[in-house]
A and B are shown apart, each in its own frame.
Chain A
Amino acid sequence: MAGAFWGIVEDDRQGNPKKVTAEVLGEASRLAAKAGSQAEAIWITDKASESGIRLLGEWGARRVWLLENAAFAPYRGEVWTPVVTELAGTESPKAILGAVTTRQRELMARLSARLGLGLSADTTALALDGEQLVATRPIYAGKLLAKVTWAKTPWLATLRPNVFRAEEPQPGVAPSVERPAVSLPAARMTLVERREEASTGLPELAEAEIIVSGGRGMKGPENFVILEELARVIGAAVGASRAAVDAGWRPHRFQVGQTGRTVSPKLYLAFGISGAIQHLAGMRTSKVICAVNKDPEAPIFKIADYGIVADLFEVAPLLTQEFKKLLEK
């Protein structure tokens, strides 16, 4: 319907929408309810699934716009952007919300240029104020918050994972499914190959609800196995500080911080991380922060909810045991 709140689906490329999509649709639903409208999902994929469509409905989408075509994989901005533009032209949504993933960040920026609209990237809160939507986003390494607003609709925003609440799933609510005919632009960029990352068997950093991170205090790459053991017990992803990444101990994709990933888990456990501003920039919106560090003066303790001043090599294995005991109960 015109005036709908759209959520762009992020999937695992195998036909399954990811958790962050539940958050985006949750926020779209809440805003839509206030505005007397509805949430709708835009799913651009080469491979959709019935179970995926059902999930989108349970997460709050009343309608799923399904754009399924082999040409949509892998993501190419030059193909996706005109397609969303065309659909937005005919359906006139009130808002288009996406997730902070590499491809959606680019897609939304291209859309903003194509449509001449403002984009609030990496948003951490949205609030309807009468006819205006106001977005909150951290700036300057998270030292300040900016409240921003748009000159006109549709409002474009990408939402930081793990910050927005998903709605309680409503089993059995089936969305209507539309398969609009859109013109497919020719792609100029061509895929040569895709190199999969070696699976760690642990959750992805950007989406993980719990993150265990190591810094310079880890003393070497071989010691990260201690954190991996802990992570496996509590279902966490393993991150690293810039110091650990620059030392070559962990690949860059695991870096949390200003020149790495910005994360916002329910629980962030920092081991041997001093807490330089550039690290805090990437994790300060975490809900609960714990720090283990030998140095009682480490700045990380200033933002930690819980701290232990001790040798991480002693404490980390003990925590692993304690969590194991707790979770086996």
Chain B
Amino acid sequence: MKILVLVKQVPDTATQVKLGADSKTIDTAGITWIVSPYDEFALEEALRIKEKRGQGEVVVVSLGPARVKESLRSCLAMGADRAIHLVDPAWDGADTLATARALAAAIKQEAPGLVLCGRQAIDDDMGSVGAQVAELLGWPCASWIIEEAVDGGGTSIRVGRQAEGGLEVFDLPLPAVVSAQKGLNEPRYPTLKGIMGAKKKEMKDVKAADLGLAVEPPALSVVALEALPPRPPGRVIPGEPAEAARELVRALREEAKAI
């Protein structure tokens, strides 16, 4: 079974993010880039499915500028078999829907049995692309899964989906799109052998025209990015614990009116 994993390159959480000169994008100088953590859960699960079945292929796909190759390479080092890089100036500033259209077109060409992605990327936190891709393809979709099992014949997948107040277990006929929630697995680290081997694996560039796509104006566009308004300065309540606790409760009732 061929499994496609959708990944996104994002700034590391701890990295400092500054406004760009146009106030619509960020200044990318000095940013440390990583594969979005939820996408690592998706990739890990794809590798496990392949290992369990003893056959198959895991292909990672990502849309973005040239720097994305580095993240794709680390996915190959983790164990993916090959990578597809959707790279084209036409996709600069692509919103989630444009991204989903490009990914859906690439998926159609590859015709995998299963598509895995993270439940959201930790840069813009939209959490939309997986479900959009499923809708564009007309495939069943389960979001926020924390367990899965593909049946022996590779014709269906059983997933546990996190829902409000409980876990819902579904059978989905394949092909389908599922998105990974934390708790699905613990992603592996690339081995030295994996890192060396990754250099020899295929990484293909794909442009919008290769997918027969005309780029449309974004459905959602950024008007401006702003720095967070500063929180009013807080205060540390001094004194012995008993005294401080009393004062905190008083302040929460009388000043903050929070209780």
Are the chains A and B members of one assembly?
A: yes
Select one of B172, B173, B223 contacting A149, CB under 8 A: B223
| B135–A113 touching, CB < 8 Å | yes
Assess the B143–A105 pair: CB atoms within 8 A.
yes
For B134, B164, B173, B218, the residue with the greatest tally of chain A CB atoms inside 10 Å of its CB is B164
- The answer to whether B221 and A149 have CB atoms under 8 Å apart is yes
Tell whether B196 is near chain A: CB-to-CB under 8 Å.
no
Inter-chain contacts of B132 with A (CB < 8 A): 109-110, 112-113
Taking a contact as CB atoms closer than 8 A, the residue among B126, B143, B234, B252 that contacts A106 in the complex is B143
Contact check, B172 vs A188: say whether CB atoms are below 8 A apart: yes
Interface size class of A (residues with CB under 8 A): 35 or more
Residues of chain B lying within 8 A (CB to CB) of residue A260: 182
- Which B residues between 143 and 185 are near A, CB-CB below 8 angstroms? 143-144, 146, 158, 160-173, 176, 182-183
Asked if residues A145 and B131 are in contact (CB atoms below 8 Å), the reply is no
| Cα(A106)–Cα(B223), bound, Å | 25
Contact of B248 among A113, A137, A306 (CB under 8 A): A306
A196 to B161, CA, bound (A): 12
A155 to B167, CA, bound (A): 31
Bound-state Cα–Cα, A317 to B100, Å:
50
- A178 is an interface residue with CB less than 8 A from chain B: no
Considering the chains assembled together, what is the distance between the CA atoms of A241 and B249 in angstroms? 23
Asked whether B142 is an interface residue with its Cβ less than 8 Å from the other chain, the reply is: yes
B interface footprint on A147-186 (CB within 8 Å = 1, 0 otherwise): 1111110000000000000000000000000000000000
Residue of A nearest to B219 (CB): A118
Cβ-neighbour of A308 out of B131, B219, B248 (below 8 A): B248
Interface residues of A in 181-202 (CB under 8 A from B): 188-197
Q: Is A252 touching B182 in the complex (CB atoms < 8 A)?
A: yes
Considering only residues 236-250 of chain B, those with a C-beta below 8 Å from chain A are 236-237, 241-242, 244-246, 248-249
Min Cβ gap A147→B in Å is 4
User: What distance in Å separates the Cβ of B102 from its nearest Cβ neighbour in chain A?
Assistant: 13
Within the complex, what minimum Cβ distance (angstroms) separates B125 from chain A? 6
For the complex, give the distance between the alpha carbons of A195 and B132 in Å. Answer: 27
- Please, which residues of chain A bring their CB within 8 A of the CB of B246? 318, 322
- Write the nearest CB–CB distance from B115 to chain A, whole angstroms: 14
Are B169 and A193 in contact, CB atoms less than 8 angstroms apart? Answer: yes
The answer for the CA separation of A149 and B17 in the assembled complex, in Å, is 22
Contact B97 A304 (CB under 8 A): no
Q: Note all chain B residues with C-beta closer than 8 A to A103.
A: 163-164
**A110-B141 contact given A147-B222, A150-B219, CB 8 Å threshold:** yes
In the complex, whether A143 has a CB less than 8 A from a CB of chain B is: yes
Write out the residue numbers on chain A whose beta carbons fall within 8 Å of the beta carbon of B97: 112-113, 116-119
Give Cα A301 to B100, complex, Å: 40
Q: Which residue of A lies closest to B256 (CB)?
A: A288
Shortest CB–CB separation between residue B32 and chain A, in angstroms? 13
Taking chain A's interface residues, is the majority helix, strand, or loop, or is none over half, making it mixed? mixed
**Closest CB-CB distance, B256 to chain A, in whole Å?**
5
Q: Is the CB of A77 within 8 A of B131?
A: yes
The answer, yes or no, to whether B192 is at the interface (CB within 8 Å) is no
Residues of A within 8 A of B140 (CB): 78, 188-189
Name the contact of B126 in the complex, choosing from A116, A121, A262, A301 (C-beta under 8 A).
Answer: A121
**Residue in A119, A190, A204, A306 whose beta carbon sits within 8 Å of that of B220 in the complex:** A119
A-contacting 9-mer, from B55-63, B64-72, B106-114, B225-233: B225-233
Are A150 and B241 in contact, with the CB atoms below 8 A? no
Tell me which of B38, B95, B252 contacts A259 (CB under 8 A).
Answer: B38
Kindly list chain B residues whose C-beta atoms are within 8 Å of the C-beta of A122. Answer: 125-127
Task: Decide: A119 near B17, CB < 8 A? Known: A81-B135, A112-B219, A319-B249.
Answer: no
- Which B6-45 residues have C-beta < 8 A from chain A? 11, 13-14, 17, 19, 26, 37-38
On whether the beta carbons of A309 and B236 are closer than 8 Å, the reply is yes
Q: Is the CB of B249 within 8 A of A326?
A: yes
| A197 contacts B165, C-beta separation under 8 Å | yes
In the assembled complex, which residues on chain B have CB atoms less than 8 Å from the CB atom of A303?
231, 234
Check B131–A113 contact: CB distance below 8 A: yes
Nearest-CB residue, chain A, relative to B233: A305
User: Apart from A109-B132, A121-B126, A195-B166, what are 9 other A-B pairs with CB-CB below 8 Å?
Assistant: A112-B96, A151-B217, A192-B158, A210-B259, A305-B234, A318-B241, A319-B249, A322-B245, A326-B249
- CB<8 Å pairs between A and B, sample of 10: A102-B144, A139-B125, A144-B225, A148-B220, A148-B221, A189-B142, A191-B168, A306-B251, A307-B234, A318-B245
Q: Which 3 A/B pairs are nearest by Cβ-Cβ distance?
A: A118-B220, A118-B219, A109-B131
Residue numbers of A with Cβ under 8 A of B are 10, 12-13, 74-75, 77-78, 81, 101-103, 105-106, 108-110, 112-114, 116-122, 134, 137-152, 188-197, 204, 206, 210, 234, 252-253, 255, 258-260, 262, 266-267, 276-278, 281, 284, 287-290, 296, 301, 303-311, 314-315, 318-319, 321-323, 326-327
